[in-house]
Amino acid sequence: MRANSVIMILLAVVFGVVAVVLANVWLSSQRSQFAKAEAGPQNTIVVAAVALRFGETLSSDRLREIPWPADAVPQGAFRTRAELLDDKGERQALTAISANEPILDSKITGPGQRATLSAVLTQGMRAVSIRVNDVLGVAGFVLPGDRVDILLTRKLRNSGGDEQAFVDVLLQSIKVLAIDQLADENRNNPTVVKSVTLEVSTKDAQKLTLAADIGQLSLALRQVASNKGENTDRVTLADLAGGLPDITPKEKPEPPLKLAVAEPPVRPVPAVIKPQKPRRASINVYRGTDHEVYEVPRR
């Protein structure tokens, strides 16, 4: 066996041993960290034992307590079921809560409070309902918890008396609180509704009320994570014509003008008059030196 082969085998063995030693050291450190974490201060937290829907009343059989690190308790969480289910009144879920999800104060009503739409509103916001149909409401695919843009379509007469239609984006990224009388965010089935309730500020509520009176409101569904507004422009009939082929009938081209050319004057053709034969003929008769002329009629 060559010396180079022996050296390569020895180096491989050494590196293998070093790798095994380092792996054992890392695993030992991880075990010690886990042990310290388990030995640290522990607490309990209340989570949902079953999936809860909007408006469902919280009860002891729907909740349970699980161990939780004391330094990582979420804000608004409850440590025990007795703390959550006090004697002040029942509590109801304000949003859909999955099984084993921590129960937070912001997701349930206060003691004795009902799960109404007013309890879902963000501080300082207002709820305004607008009328929609199967088309304006995005075919029923708008559900509670979605975000939409509000489009305003209206027609005005210009100074020339012609009627002009245009569309403006009135509001952007508006949260949908309810459809008709349903505010359950866990609802997944599209439903054709007659009204949509939106969460807006006071000024935006004034805009919506005025816009519903002067034009037609439509909804444009936004992507779930798209909450930022964007710059928009007014769309008019002129913008539509720019993207459509020219369908106006084209006028037939007029024939080219012919220049009048002066024609030469027509000269009259003289009539040919045939000469008439004389009725009588002259006959000359010579006798010696005598010359006589006789006039005889022609036949």
Average pLDDT of span 265-276: 66
Residue 243 pLDDT: 54
Let me know if domain 42-115 sits in CATH 3.90.1210.10. Answer: yes
Q: What predicted TM-score, i.e. pTM, was given to this entire model?
A: 0.54
| Confidence at residue 183, expressed as pLDDT on a 0 to 100 scale | 63
The pLDDT value recorded for residue 204 is: 93
Q: Is the pLDDT of residue 31 over 70?
A: yes
The tens digit of pLDDT for each residue in 70-79 reads 888 888 899 9
Residue 250 has pLDDT above 60, yes or no: no
pLDDT at 203 over 90: yes
Average pLDDT, the chain: 79
The pLDDT value recorded for residue 132 is 83
According to the model, what pLDDT value does residue 259 have? Answer: 57
Whether the predicted pLDDT of 185 surpasses 70: no
Q: What is the pLDDT of residues 97-142, one digit of tens each?
A: 889 999 998 888 888 777 677 777 888 899 998 888 777 777 778 8
Concatenated DSSP letters of the chain: --HHHHHHHHHHHHHHHHHHHHHHHHHHHHHHHHHHHHHS-EEEEEEESS-B-TTPBP-GGGEEEEEEEGGGPPTTB-SSHHHHS-TT---BBSS-B-TT-B-BGGGBPPTT----HHHHSPTT-EEEEEE--TTTTGGGT--TT-EEEEEEEEEEE-TTS-EEEEEEEEEEEEEEEEETTB--TT--S----SEEEEEE-HHHHHHHHHHHHHSEEEEEEPPTT---------EEHHHHHHTS---SPPPPPPPPPPPPPPPPPPPPPPPP-PPPPPSEEEEEEEETTEEEEEEEE--
Domain ranges of the chain: 42-115, 125-242
| Over residues 16-43, mean pLDDT | 78
Q: What number is the average pLDDT over the span 261-282?
A: 67
pLDDT in the model for residue 48: 92
Q: What average pLDDT score do residues 90-103 get? A: 87
